Amino acid sequence: MSIIAAHDVALSFGATPALRGAGLAVEPGEIVAIMGPSGSGKSTLLHCLAGILVPDRGEIHFDGRRIDTLGEAERSALRRDRFGFVFQFGQLVPELTAEENVALPLLLGGVRRAEAVRSAREWFPRLGLDRLEGRRSGELSGGQAQRVALARGLVGRPRVLFADEPTGALDSLTGEQVMDLMVDAARAEGTTVVLVTHEPRVAAYADREVVVRDGKAYPLTAEAAVS
């Protein structure tokens, strides 16, 4: 059974259609890259899969349960407890230290502060962030900040990690380092990853690639890869 799937999903923003019957199924532990040009609907599809957006038509299922019909509070709890997120610019809270940023999902989930911080600290040596626990986002390099964001996305041991252009703000070498760490950590934890990217070198880390064009998702073909 797929861990997460979209069936015939359509969504418009006003009069502008973003998705036109997109479908995608992801197996447990799989790393899937969603590719496509800017404006193709790839990030919209990810946001629907993650319960951030509710489609106008179609169904979203997670772990055998339909989630697009859930209320906002239930979808928010699902995102907090079962999903992890890494975005292009990290979106760290600037007032918090690195370890506090990583611990934040656990704190929001009701974990006691001491336990949440202890769990957060375990990720720093794993991601090459030793001795950076007390720094704030303005004191971190772009690659360091994105690794902190990756730790925050994984600290709750989510079933699915959603990564939306996680290397888009990084240079090529730093982006490769972040992707190596993301894939290694996901494999070690058995985490399913849904990755949105427009870069073939990033998509190459995935087990499988799909392309979104004109609001629909297709298996990646050689023609799509070079167009």
pLDDT classification of 227: cutoffs 50, 70, 90: very low
User: Percent of the chain beyond pLDDT 90?
Assistant: 79
- Helix (H/G/I), strand (E/B), else coil: 71: coil
pLDDT of res. 96: 95
How, if at all, do strands 16-26 and 65-66 pair? Answer: unpaired
Query: How large is the average pLDDT for residues 49-59?
Result: 96
Give dist(CA 101, CA 79) in Å, integer: 17
Give dist(CA 164, CA 179) in Å, integer: 12
pLDDT at 164 over 50: yes
pLDDT at 19 over 90: yes
pLDDT classification of 54: cutoffs 50, 70, 90: very high
Closest C-alpha among 194, 207, 92, 109 to residue 151 = 92
pLDDT at 121 over 70: yes
- Helix (H/G/I), strand (E/B), else coil: 212: strand
- Given a contact cutoff of 8 angstroms between Cβ atoms, the answer to whether 83 and 52 are in contact is no
- Helix (H/G/I), strand (E/B), else coil: 158: coil
pLDDT classification of 90: cutoffs 50, 70, 90: low
pLDDT of res. 222: 36
pLDDT at 226 over 70: no
Query: How large is the average pLDDT for residues 45-57?
Result: 96
pLDDT of res. 217: 87
C-alpha separations of 199 from 48, 179, 181 in Å: 22, 12, 17
Give dist(CA 55, CA 21) in Å, integer: 10
Position 23, amino acid = G
pLDDT higher for 219 or 166? 166
pLDDT, tens only, 184-222: 999 999 999 999 998 999 999 999 999 998 889 887 533
pLDDT at 157 over 60: yes
pLDDT classification of 69: cutoffs 50, 70, 90: very high
Query: How large is the average pLDDT for residues 112-140?
Result: 94
Position 130, amino acid = D
